[in-house]
Structure 1
Amino acid sequence: MAMIHTGDGPDDVRLHVQRLSPPDGRPPTATAVLLHGLLTDSLASWYFTVAPDLAAAGLEVVMYDQRGHGRSERPDSGYRLDAFVTDLERLLDRLEITGPVHLMGNCFGATVAFGYAVRHPERVAGICAIEAKPATESWLTEISGIFRRVVAELLGHEAESLAWLSAHRGAHTARLAKQAARLVRTTSIAEDIPESRTVSEEQLRRVRCPVLAVYGADSDLAGQEGWLESVLPGTRTVVLPGQGHWVLAEAPKHIRELLLSWTREPGAGAPAAVAPLEADAP
């Protein structure tokens, strides 16, 4: 574990970083940077699912808690998408990781990955986007609606909401919701994210690397694969039957297999759909 400063000026933020290397001192075949989602997420969602297996397969794995999340610093303001992209940019510079990296993002983490690839297409070997989309106008509309609901439903009736979650979704889910409520209540994230800059299709076409897009068949995002493939011809899509938005947590074994195959042959793509999943466990 390490705490890394992203800069030396007033916009510096301390990020909690974890790195996993291949066993037995083997040199890594590539570097994978794992990016988590917003509010209830942290690097733990990667650490306890696929990260150790990626390292065992020969990858150098870098994970970090994004600003405001997990053990990273929680500034009062500065939560527009560009700030998260700049954090990734500066962190890689601080870690002296200059070669092309595989960016693997869950939900908002993949939106950050796309933003970084638009800025630095030459520094990205590939993007794996799990239940995510780039920062288009439709993304901004959707995420703004999510934050309106969070503010109205969670903060507006916090005690009742947390009690309901504890009773119906378990204590762990309630704890995550409590952390999310604190982040929204004590920072400007609910105002900043909806004010983020979007990217155009022309800007997205700067992304030349292979893209693996993974969706749950029951997710609201599952219908966008045709559009993403039309904008980024290097995109291949996997749709997981019987899964919703939380595919990383609920189907980790399958995600591991997809990522390991993809990093070995990133240009080979992936099938448009797979057979129904059997019961899965971390």
Structure 2
Amino acid sequence: MAKIRVGELDVHVQRMSAAGPPADGPPPLVVLVHGLLIDSLASYYFSLGPAFAERGMDVLMYDLRGHGRTGRPATGYRLEDFVADLDGLLDALGEDRPAHVVGNSFGGAIAYGLAAARPDRVRSVIAIESEPPVKSWAEKMAEGLTGEEGGLVVKEVRTWLAEDPERNARPFQLAGDILDATTLSEDIPRSRVLDDGLADIRCPVFAVFGADSELAAQADHLAATLGHCRSVVLPDQGHSVLVERTRETAELLVEWLEDNIHDDIHDDIHTPAKGVR
């Protein structure tokens, strides 16, 4: 375990080095960004992290602000704050390699946000059950985090626990602690958002969805809107792609990364290829 000072925040970081010597130059850097409230870097530690490292990639995982073992300031939870944290973390680590940024759920919004704010820093975005942070995203986040009885997120958690009282409730208790101790629920819906046309996203994007998730409806739109984009929709799967289809997801992501790592994508970034689903 290591903590890195980023501004006024102590960020908990874990790294996995590429297995074996690099075949051609330094190994590619893969940054794994977890989801909101009930998540932490632990969700990657025994799943995608080892899969990437074993295939010759350097892996960086970290806990978001307010989550896991990273500091929990009372305020400062707009999307741009999370993006600035990741940007600052890469600076603090002295990383100058453009990163392949993998984001699960809310982590995907951070990946898109960094790609828009620092296109020089992001080689590609891999979004697992996520969507770009546009106006409709902010509206959904507001619906999920605020409102009667705490919003849809709280209601869904209560229903989930009621259906099976033997479930491990600790992650949801921790989520409640975050909501009680911070302005996260008020801040995220007020985040700065991207233009709906996604013109600021110029790197390749690989998006993975569960067919039974409401987010899957955007797969064709992303492929049509973004120049370099591939979308995969997994049948008979809801939002919990990373948890329930771990091995399949890892294989998909590793294969896509290996196909794109050595492509000189930046030279043709202004002549985008047609997206495929």
- Equivalent residue letter for 2:84: T
Partner of 2:2: 2
TM-score (norm 2): 0.88
1:131 aligns with 2:129: yes
**Among residues 238, 259, 262, which one is paired with 1:265 in the alignment?**
259
Shift of 1:220: 0.4
* Structure 2 CA distance for aligned equivalents of residues 191 and 155 of structure 1: 14
**Among residues 17, 26, 33, which one is paired with 2:13 in the alignment?**
17
Shift of 1:23: 2.7
Q: Deviations over 1:133-178 (max 9, x none)?
A: 111111011111110267257879x9xx49x717616432x11110
SS of equivalent to 1:221:
helix
Shift of 1:271: 6.5
TM-score (norm 1): 0.86
Partner of 2:190: 195
* Structure 2 CA distance for aligned equivalents of residues 167 and 28 of structure 1: 49
Partner of 1:177: 172
Contact 1:218 1:245 in 2 (8 A): yes
Partner of 1:277: none
Matches within 5 A, 1:68-147: 68-147=66-145
- Equivalent residue letter for 1:5: R
Contact 1:201 1:231 in 2 (8 A): no
Partner of 1:251: 245
Shift of 1:210: 1.1
- Equivalent residue letter for 2:180: R
- Equivalent residue letter for 1:18: Q
Partner of 2:181: 186
What's the Cα RMSD here? 2.3
* Structure 1 CA distance for aligned equivalents of residues 206 and 131 of structure 2: 12
Partner of 2:161: 165
Q: Deviations over 1:208-254 (max 9, x none)?
A: 21110000000000011122122212111000001100100000010
* Structure 2 CA distance for aligned equivalents of residues 258 and 155 of structure 1: 32
Contact 1:105 1:111 in 2 (8 A): yes
Shift of 1:270: 9.4
Partner of 1:227: 221
- Equivalent residue letter for 2:40: S
- Equivalent residue letter for 2:109: T
| Structure 1 residues 154 and 183, CA gap change in structure 2 (3 angstroms) | same
SS of equivalent to 2:120:
helix
Contact 1:238 1:270 in 2 (8 A): no
* Structure 1 CA distance for aligned equivalents of residues 217 and 153 of structure 2: 28
Partner of 2:150: 151
* Structure 1 CA distance for aligned equivalents of residues 274 and 253 of structure 2: 11
The answer for unaligned runs of 5 or more in structure 2 is 264-272
Q: Deviations over 1:78-128 (max 9, x none)?
A: 101000000000000011111211000001111001110101112211110
The answer for unaligned runs of 5 or more in structure 1 is 273-282
Name the % identity: 42
Q: How many residues matched?
A: 262
Shift of 1:49: 1.2
